[in-house]
Amino acid sequence: MSVEEKLYSDIPPTKLRNKEEKFKPAKTNRFWLTIASLFFFNMLQNRFFAFRYKGSEDSVEKGVPTILFAPHCNWWDGIVMYNITHRIFHKEIRLMIEELNRFPLLRRGGGYSVCKKSPQTAMKALKYSVDVVGDLKNILCIFPQGIIRPPHFRPMQFQTGLAYIAQNAVKRYGKVNLVPVAIDYCFFRDNRPEVVVNFGKRIELTDFKGDRKELSHMLERSLEGACDELFEDISKGEVSDYKILFKQHLKWYRRIEQRLKRIDIPPVADV
């Protein structure tokens, strides 16, 4: 009898490896961004039937640094955030990736490393985050739970890295906007799943009198609210007001099925 592997761990990968890893910043250029944009979009199109989203209109304010923060439940989250940044907001992504040393090519797409072996090494990534969020051609994307959690995990518990970045960005740039992003993967009426995204209410931060834990708790509640709203929409099938980034054509057998449904078959007479 096979033994099921442990799906989720409370210990970050870099702590498990217990190895000092050198910090690596993002290293983008036009060529690699074009390749990454095509590659990551194609990955979604090959695996998912559609990509739906709502609430993006008021998410990014012109001239103000923006941070998108989302839950992290699976491998696709980073790919989804990349496409949100590039194809919805038309910006470059800056994404903290703990496994970047295993996949260094992701630096070309906007990823940068973080090593959580010690607070001192992790601080390099946090300080770099404050630097890059001020470049308005970028959008900084963060998974503030710090580790992968199961889908719909509650209660949400953030590490204080996001609060550190936000507070220091405010001190340096005067204002920063934080946008909670709820992401879900579900089946509707097709045989392939869909990506469904809800952008929560934008949080405009110009000052915060409390400490990082208080700010983290406030951000936890805002992301939970966005996720709960998305879950309610999905549970009721209310996605008609969602915009569509892409939607596949129905397979041939689904087209036949749709046509058969439109045929008005007369009732069979009683014998």
What is the per-residue pLDDT for 222? 98
3-state secondary structure of 223: helix
- What's the CATH code of the domain at 115? 3.40.1130.10
pLDDT, tens digit, 9 for 90 and up, residues 55-75? 999 999 999 999 999 999 999
Number of domains in the chain: 1
In angstroms, rounded to a whole number, what is the distance separating the alpha carbons of residues 165 and 129?
7
94 within domain boundaries: yes
267 within domain boundaries: no
138 within domain boundaries: yes
Q: What is the pTM of this model?
A: 0.89
What is the per-residue pLDDT for 252? 52
102 within domain boundaries: yes
248 within domain boundaries: yes
In angstroms, rounded to a whole number, what is the distance separating the alpha carbons of residues 6 and 23?
28
62 within domain boundaries: yes
What is the per-residue pLDDT for 189? 86
Q: Where are the alpha helices (DSSP H) in 48-114?
A: 77-83
Cis? peptide before 119, omega within 30° of 0: no
- Closest residue by Cα to residue 113 from 8, 14, 9: 14
Could you tell me the end-to-end alpha-carbon distance of the chain, in angstroms, rounded to an integer?
57
What is the per-residue pLDDT for 6? 80
3-state secondary structure of 170: helix
What is the per-residue pLDDT for 261? 67
What is the per-residue pLDDT for 267? 62
254 within domain boundaries: yes
3-state secondary structure of 263: coil
| 3: CB partners within 8 A, 6+ apart | none
Residue 236 parent element (H or E): helix 212-236
269 within domain boundaries: no
Residue 88's domain comprises: 13-262
Give the pLDDT of the chain (271 residues) as one tens digit per residue: 566 678 888 888 888 888 878 899 999 999 999 999 999 999 999 999 999 999 999 999 999 999 999 999 999 999 999 999 999 999 999 999 998 888 899 999 999 999 998 888 899 999 999 999 999 999 999 999 999 999 999 999 999 999 999 999 999 999 999 999 999 999 998 889 999 999 999 999 998 888 899 999 999 999 999 999 999 999 999 999 999 999 998 665 666 666 666 776 666 555 5
Work out the number of other CB atoms within 10 angstroms of the CB of residue 79. Answer: 17
pLDDT, tens digit, 9 for 90 and up, residues 205-227? 998 888 899 999 999 999 999 99
